[in-house]
Structure 1
Amino acid sequence: MTLQTLSESRAHGGIQRVCSHVSAATGTEMTFSVFLPPAAQNALSLPAVIYLSGLTCTHANVTEKGEFRAACAELGLIFIAPDTSPRGEAVPDDPAAAYDFGLGAGFYVDATMAPYATNYRMWSYVADELPQLLAASLPLDLARMGIMGHSMGGHGALTLGLTYPERFRSISAFAPIVAPSQVPWGQKALSGYLGEDRTAWRAHDAVALVESGARSGEILIDQGSADAFLAEQLRPELFKAACDQAGQPLTLRMQAGYDHSYYFISTFMADHLAWHARRLAT
């Protein structure tokens, strides 16, 4: 798989790139961004964090608004931001062109339902293909990777991290969808991509995973108290209850007055990156 560099800029002594490649997982061209801290100029291997974005987003949202580069430069972290779904003229979208399904809303699953099963394979793309691709050309230590995300991407970070604790040694999230089986966004996405058999949904529901025995190290979640989606779509109290019952370590911080936007994310981004760096240090 050949990587094409679409843009490259200096930032905080490091390099911010936007790249594309043809994905074997999705069968489409995929675009992502990667920030290489100054330490990448000489280091043989560095820890990395994958950031998964939310509904309607691409790689560009966090790249332009996430304010992660200064912290990554100081901490020596590689920061990787993939797209949220496959794209292209032949890729099926929501028939009603809704924002919460189809393009921009891949929900980080491998779809099994037609017509989405061919391209909507973001689970395999994030878990396997993208890290392996980057490790072949960058000083990325596959044994020191963390995963984080926002909203739909927080859902992806929690489910991928809990499923593959040996691959993702640290997990954090901003305003994640923790129980997609129990909320409208998730019910629409999981039924559309995986079908109506709810037993298949459990592998992509963080609450269900913890209830079924999945474990990781301590998880960090920040949630704004003024988030318009808090009560109907996010439900962090469900994840806290499941973690408390199972003994899964969790730090859930309710941030007074913050909403669902990148103003919220950028405020606490450095805290999250420091959290990951401590856990990926050795």
Structure 2
Amino acid sequence: MATAVEEISANRHYNGYNRRYKHRSTVLGCDMTFTVYFPPAAETGKVPVLYYLSGLTCNDENFIQKSGAQRAAATRGIALVAPDTSPRGLGVEGEADSWDFGVGAGFYLNSTQEKWRAWRMYDYVVEELPSLLRSTAPFATSLDVDQASVFGHSMGGHGALVVGLRNPQTYRSISAFAPVCHPINCPWGVKAFTGYLGEDRELWKQYDACELLRSFSGPVRPPILVDTGSADKFLQVQLQPQALEAAIQETGYSPATMRTQEGYDHSYFFISTFVDDHINFHADVLLPGK
């Protein structure tokens, strides 16, 4: 059970509020921060929740400060919830030796390796954080956690695809900016999965969107939207959107939309350009007819 939540900052924005919080995570064994954008509609009733999962080296503030997503979220009446990307402050040997593993690089999985036992961002995002929002003031009276969707960028795009596809009853829609589509077959993913999950590649498949699509079953299929920039320097080696598109075509997963945005790179300039599309994509599912 999560402990009390402390508000550490608040900023008025598009007639709503960005509010940053700290709490003690029992899943991760450390203090964690997360930020919620409450749209104006949250002042008079419960609003749906859209989780945003950030990429490598990021924390909960990057998206909130750089994306400009609050304008569309305010207009459509959707709360944005941005968690951090890994445990912090545990002092694990080697946790900060590289930017693509350890601190800031949780990959939204549950580590099976003893050294990295605290790296359980999948359980934090899917279970602990929603439970906290559902049961704790001020969230319980303003957020409809049972009406939720998920999106993210890069490592967080991978995370959004994974948690969405593994929990289709929980997340009504899924989208991603420049996701790591096939991590069991790219350098970032191989490094992270080897370190967190060990050498058994069969265990890796549960955290790979392409493999999850190939094993997907059940009547509920959350719609998917993926945007990638043609000028992204990580496109071919790390992101591999062609692998995701092939898995979608192979399995007939629908509805799923893959878009290539000409000339755009991996940055928040790219995200901020198309973030309204993603907010509206999710709002159309979460708030049909509004």
The offset of 1:245, in angstroms, is: 1.0
| Structure 2 unmatched ranges of 5 or more | none
Matches within 5 A, 1:253-268: 253-268=259-274
**What is the RMSD computed on CA atoms of the aligned residues?**
1.2
1:279 aligns with 2:285: yes
The offset of 1:90, in angstroms, is: 2.7
Matches within 5 A, 1:101-116: 101-116=101-116
| Structure 1 unmatched ranges of 5 or more | none
1:229 aligns with 2:227: no
Is the partner of 2:257 in helix, strand or coil?
strand
Contact 1:142–1:167 under 8 Å retained in 2: no
Aligned length: 279
TM-aligned CA distance change 1:134 to 1:92, over 3 Å: farther
CA distance in 2, matches of 1:91, 1:2: 25
TM-score by length of 2: 0.94
Q: Deviations over 1:97-122 (max 9, x none)?
A: 111100000000110102101x1010
CA distance in 1, matches of 2:12, 2:61: 16
Segments ≥4 residues shifted beyond 4 Å? none
The offset of 1:91, in angstroms, is: 4.0
Partner of 1:127: 126
Among candidates 4, 7, 20, match of residue 6 of structure 2: 4
Q: Deviations over 1:168-209 (max 9, x none)?
A: 111000000010000000000011001100110010000001
CA distance in 2, matches of 1:2, 1:93: 30
Partner of 1:19: 21
Identity in percent: 47
Q: Deviations over 1:14-62 (max 9, x none)?
A: 011010100011010000110000001111x211100000001111111
1:243 aligns with 2:248: yes
Among candidates 163, 168, 171, match of residue 168 of structure 1: 171
Q: Which moved more, 1:226-235 or 1:135-144?
A: 135-144
TM-aligned CA distance change 1:222 to 1:201, over 3 Å: same
TM-score by length of 1: 0.96
The offset of 1:93, in angstroms, is: 3.8
Contact 2:171–2:222 under 8 Å retained in 1: no
CA distance in 1, matches of 2:19, 2:93: 28
CA distance in 2, matches of 1:104, 1:214: 32
The offset of 1:141, in angstroms, is: 1.5
Amino acid at match of 2:107: F
Matches within 5 A, 1:188-207: 188-207=191-210
Partner of 1:77: 78
The offset of 1:281, in angstroms, is: 1.2
Is the partner of 1:5 in helix, strand or coil?
strand
CA distance in 1, matches of 2:133, 2:31: 16
CA distance in 2, matches of 1:214, 1:147: 20
Contact 1:93–1:103 under 8 Å retained in 2: no
